[in-house]
Amino acid sequence: MTMKEIEPKILSKEEIERIPAGINEEDLLEFEKHVLNSFVEELTPIEAKEPGSAWVKVRAKDGSMKEILDVTSMNWTLTLGFAHPDVNYAVLQQIKRLTHVRYNVSTPARIKLVNKLAELAPGKLKGGRVSLNCEGGGMANEAALKLALMESRGADLFGVFFGGYHGNSLVTMTASQPIHVATRFTSLAQRNFFRMPYPYCYRCLWNYKEGLYGKKDPSCNLECFNLVEQYIRGMAPRKLAGVLIEPNQAGGGQIPAPPEFLLKLKEVCEQEKVFLIYDECQTCMWRCGKYFTLTERYEKELNLDVSPDMMTMTKGIAGGFPLGVLLANPKIRKQFGPSEEHTTFSSDPVAMAASLAAIRVMEEGKYGENCEKMGNKITKRLLEMQEELEVIGDVRGAGLFIGVELVKNKDTREPFNDLCEEMVLLAPEHGLYLGQSMPYLSTKGEILRHNVVKIKPPLIITDEDCDFILENFEIILKEALNKVK
Ligand SMILES: Cc1ncc(COP(=O)(O)O)c(C=O)c1O
Please determine, for residue 257, whether its predicted confidence score (pLDDT) is greater than 80.
yes
If asked whether residues 419 and 397 sit together in one domain, one would say yes
Whether 389 maps to a domain, the answer reads yes
Last residue of a domain, one of 364, 379, 395: 364
Whether 8 maps to a domain, the answer reads no
Residues facing 403 on adjacent strands: 396, 454
Question: What type of residue is 217?
Answer: D
Q: Domain count of the chain?
A: 2
Contact by Cβ (8 Å): 129, 335: yes
| Mean pLDDT value of segment 361-366 | 98
Residues in the chain: 485
Whether 10 maps to a domain, the answer reads no
Contact by Cβ (8 Å): 282, 294: no
This prediction has a pTM of 0.96
Question: What type of residue is 445?
Answer: G
Residue 200, domain CATH: 3.40.640.10
| Mean pLDDT value of segment 283-300 | 97
If asked whether residues 144 and 287 sit together in one domain, one would say yes
Digit-coded pLDDT (tens) for 364-374:
999 999 999 99
Pocket of ligand 1 (CB under 6 A): 136-138, 141, 165-168, 246, 250-251, 279, 281-282, 314
Please determine, for residue 82, whether its predicted confidence score (pLDDT) is greater than 90.
yes
| Mean pLDDT value of segment 30-41 | 85
DSSP class per residue in 154-186: T--EEEEETT----SSTTHHHHSPP-TTTS-S-
If asked whether residues 359 and 385 sit together in one domain, one would say no
Whether 7 maps to a domain, the answer reads no
Last residue of a domain, one of 313, 343, 364: 364
> Of the given ranges (97-106, 192-201, 274-283, 314-323), which has the lowest mean pLDDT?
97-106
* Best CA proximity match to 291, nearest among 175, 121, 144: 121
Residue 414, domain CATH: 3.90.1150.10
DSSP class per residue in 44-68: EEEEESSTTBSEEEEE-TTS-EEEE
Whether 14 maps to a domain, the answer reads no
> Of the given ranges (56-60, 179-183, 221-225, 452-456), which has the lowest mean pLDDT?
179-183
Q: How far is CA 92 from the centre of its chain?
A: 26
Atom of ligand 1 nearest to the CA of 251: 16
At residue 153, the pLDDT reads: 85
Digit-coded pLDDT (tens) for 154-197:
899 999 999 999 999 999 999 999 887 778 888 899 999 999 99
> Of the given ranges (159-173, 232-246, 280-294), which has the lowest mean pLDDT?
232-246
Question: What type of residue is 367?
Answer: Y
| Mean pLDDT value of segment 88-97 | 97
Query: Which of 160, 171, 315 to mutate to test ligand 1, by most ligand atoms within 8 A of the CB atom?
Result: 315
Residue 421 lies in domain: 22-83+367-485
Please determine, for residue 23, whether its predicted confidence score (pLDDT) is greater than 90.
no
Query: Which of 166, 244, 295 to mutate to test ligand 1, by most ligand atoms within 8 A of the CB atom?
Result: 166
240 or 22, higher pLDDT:
240
- Closest C-alpha residue for ligand 1 atom 14: 167
Confidence band of 248 (pLDDT split at 50, 70, 90): very high
Atom of ligand 1 nearest to the CA of 167: 6
Whether 5 maps to a domain, the answer reads no
Please determine, for residue 485, whether its predicted confidence score (pLDDT) is greater than 80.
yes
Question: What type of residue is 377?
Answer: K
Confidence band of 236 (pLDDT split at 50, 70, 90): confident
If asked whether residues 358 and 371 sit together in one domain, one would say no
Please determine, for residue 3, whether its predicted confidence score (pLDDT) is greater than 80.
no
Last residue of a domain, one of 364, 397, 424: 364
183 or 375, higher pLDDT:
375
At residue 146, the pLDDT reads: 97
Distance 30 CA to ligand 1 centre (A): 31
Confidence band of 28 (pLDDT split at 50, 70, 90): confident
If asked whether residues 323 and 457 sit together in one domain, one would say no
Nearest 10 degrees: CA dihedral of 231, 232, 234, 236?
Answer: 50
Whether 6 maps to a domain, the answer reads no
If asked whether residues 234 and 374 sit together in one domain, one would say no
Query: Which helix (H) or strand (E) element contains residue 116?
Result: helix 108-120
If asked whether residues 392 and 338 sit together in one domain, one would say no
If asked whether residues 273 and 354 sit together in one domain, one would say yes
If asked whether residues 69 and 185 sit together in one domain, one would say no
Distance 78 CA to ligand 1 centre (A): 14
61 or 213, higher pLDDT:
213
If asked whether residues 162 and 248 sit together in one domain, one would say yes
If asked whether residues 37 and 127 sit together in one domain, one would say no
Distance CA 256, CA 253 (A): 9
For the chain, what percent of residues have pLDDT higher than 70? Answer: 99
Whether 3 maps to a domain, the answer reads no
At residue 2, the pLDDT reads: 65
Please determine, for residue 1, whether its predicted confidence score (pLDDT) is greater than 70.
no
If asked whether residues 55 and 127 sit together in one domain, one would say no
